[in-house]
Amino acid sequence: MARSALLNVMVQAAFKAGKSLSRDFGEVQNLQVSMKGPGDYVSQADRKAEKILREELMKARPTYGYLGEDGDEVVGTDGAHRWIVDTLDGAANFLHGIPHFAITVALERQGEIVTAVILNPATDELYTAERGGGAFLNDRRLRVAARRSLSDAVISSGTPFLGRGHHGNHLIELRHVMGEVAGVRSLGSPSLALAYVAAGRFDGHWERDLMPWDLAAGILMVREAGGWIADIDGGNKPIEDGSIIAGNEYIRKALHEVLHRPMPGK
């Protein structure tokens, strides 16, 4: 698979930050035994990896803007490009020693995501996509699953964090979806969930209360794998809306219909 110069920059930066996260991940389980500040340790690991990633990206393209998971934003001098990154998508998994977390890097050009990288440092799975060039897992081209019926589909979703999002509405949506599908999974990393949709591992994904860095790379990954993306209201602005439904054309549409069934008492 031939990669553009920009994609190579992103991949190299992600792997360099990933080495730092992998070393720190190896120590997490020891901290769980002692109960001595594992949350602080994860925060430090995240900040250290973010520093590496940011330095690598800004060194390669110093005129580009930058938006990180901590909300820190730098406006680029070129006015057209912006990195959108999250160095630890799946922090709760990392904290509990679960090897399902990701570094995500997306490049936005004039408001459109054009290049994306999602790396799970614990498994060395590297997902890449470039607009018009397809999506890949390592060097294997990706296609979304072809299933058309929800009854055959495994769907993923994200459970709202305590104190963020509406748990009651999510439970209602979950009840509706579980009655229609073969199974529902919630693995704790929106970017990897969308990468799994692109790879055909999940047939679809829905989630609310998301931030740009949760979505940017995964949106391009799904689209370049032949999938369809919408916000939960059916519009074409998931990043602005902070919600997403993803899948092939048929699953996305069917999920939308299930999620918009009237709530009890309405």
Return binding residues for Mg(2+): 69, 86, 88-89, 214
Q: Give phi and psi for 53, each to the nearest 5.
A: -60, -45
Q: What's the one-letter identity of residue 216?
A: A
Q: Which residues contribute to the annotated binding site? A: 69, 86, 88-89, 214
Q: Give phi and psi for 107, each to the nearest 5.
A: -110, 120
Q: Work out whether strand 65-67 and strand 183-185 pair parallel, antiparallel, or are unpaired.
A: unpaired
Q: Work out whether strand 228-230 and strand 204-207 pair parallel, antiparallel, or are unpaired.
A: unpaired
Residues 6+ away with beta carbon under 8 Å from 33? none
- Nearest-Å Rg of the Cα atoms of the chain is 18
Measured at the alpha carbon of residue 65, what is the angle toward residues 130 and 223, in degrees to the nearest 5?
25
CA distance 146 to 9: 33
Exposed/middle/buried for residue 164 (C-beta within 10 Å: 0-12, 13-18, 19+): exposed
Taking the C-alpha atoms of 125, 127, 128 and 129 in order, what is their torsion angle to the nearest 10 degrees?
A: 170
